[in-house]
Amino acid sequence: MSASTAPGAPASGPIVELSAVTKDYPLGKLTVQALRGVDLRIERGEFIAIAGPSGSGKTTLLNLVGCVDVPTAGAVRIEGQSTSELSEKQLTTLRLHKLGFIFQSFNLVGVLDVFQNVELPLLLQGGLTSADRKRRVAEMVDKVGLTPQTRQRPNELSGGQRQRVAIARALVTRPAIVMADEPTANLDSGTGGAIIELMKDINRTDHTTFIFSTHDANVMGHARRLVELVDGRIAADHPVSEAA
């Protein structure tokens, strides 16, 4: 039930740690306080849901963990490293090698087919031989059950299939942490459930840390830990029983 440690990975400390994180957005003359003092420790291999009403700061929180933004105050640490202290280039490298992103609206590259979309992060990383890379992509595409659609473009796929491509793209680099911002919001509940199951499967077998946001009670039930945000503050943080 508690977070397990991936074999071979450094065992010490939480993989993600937020301490006294605030995030302000300027809005004309006002500032919107999207996060107001969030403390959160996430251990390696967790499968954690961020819940909360619209505007509660879920996306903001994921963006901070996903290193596409930095906090106004406080610190976001990924494997002990504070993101505020990193350069744009270092953040890009971190995103490329340590993090995986799954977006609410999939955000696939429209002109590339399934295989190429999944291959993209590996090409950006470089380092693999062409054969290794192709094998990794094929494996990943197979894992999300899209082998028959390998050569199709996103616009030829259903919403659920697209989100599977996004998952494959996020996972193909074997990131330590995968962020998913309302990954099921654009899917019907059946498909959404299947997507969450898929993520959970991967979490179980690969010990990849998953952090996803949702305001769907069904989806929350799949999580092993639930963090509830209200007005930029953590209102509750508790384990979820497997029974759901």
Partner 1 sequence: MRMLLLVAWRNLRQGGRRTLLLGLALAMVTGLLVFLLALSRGVNVSMTRAATTLSSGHVNVAGFYKATPDDVAPLIQGVDALRRIATENTEGLVRVLDRHRGWCKVISETSSMWVGLHGIEVSEEDALFEQLTMAAPATYVKGDPAKARPSEPRRLSEPGTIMLFRSQADRLGVQVGDQVTLRTETLRGQSNTADLTVVAVADDLGLMSTWAAFVPKDAVRSLYGLKADTSGAVYLYLDDIDRAPAVMAHLREVLTEAGYTVMDHDPQPFFMKFETVMGQDWTGQKLDLTIWRDEVSFLTWVLTAIDSVSFLLTGILAVLIAIGIMNALYIAVRERTGEVGTLRAIGMGRRRVLALFVIEAMLLGLVATSIGAALSATVALIIDAVGVPLPWTAARAIFMNDHLSLVVAPAHLIGAVAAFTIITGFSAFWPALRAARLPPITAIHQTE
Ligand X SMILES: Nc1ncnc2c1ncn2[C@@H]1O[C@H](COP(=O)(O)OP(=O)(O)O)[C@@H](O)[C@H]1O
What is the residue whose two structure tokens read 């300027």? 26
Range in contact with ligand X (rule: CB under 6 A) among 49-57, 77-85, 141-149, 234-242 = 49-57
Shortest Cβ 20–ligand X spacing (Å) = 18
| E strand or H helix that includes residue 20 | strand 16-27
Task: Report what 86 binds from partner 1, Mg ion, ligand X, none; CB cut-off 5-8 Å by kind.
Answer: none
Does the footprint of ligand X cover residue 52 (CB under 6 A)?
yes
Shortest Cβ 8–partner 1 spacing (Å) = 22
Residues with Cβ within 8 Å of 160's Cβ and at least 6 positions away in sequence, in order, are 187, 191, 194, 195
Task: Report what 184 binds from Mg ion, partner 1, ligand X, none; CB cut-off 5-8 Å by kind.
Answer: none
How many CB atoms are located within 10 Å of the residue 155 CB? Answer: 9
Beta bridge partners of 210: 47, 178
Does the footprint of ligand X cover residue 31 (CB under 6 A)?
no
Shortest Cβ 170–Mg ion spacing (Å) = 17
Shortest Cβ 105–partner 1 spacing (Å) = 4
Dihedral angle of Cα 121, 123, 129, 131, to the nearest 10 degrees: 70
> CA–CA distance from 68 to each of 39, 203, 223, 231 (Å)?
19, 23, 24, 21
Per CB under 5 A, residues contacting Mg ion are 59
Contacts with ligand X, residue ranges (CB under 6 A): 25, 27, 32, 34, 52, 54-60
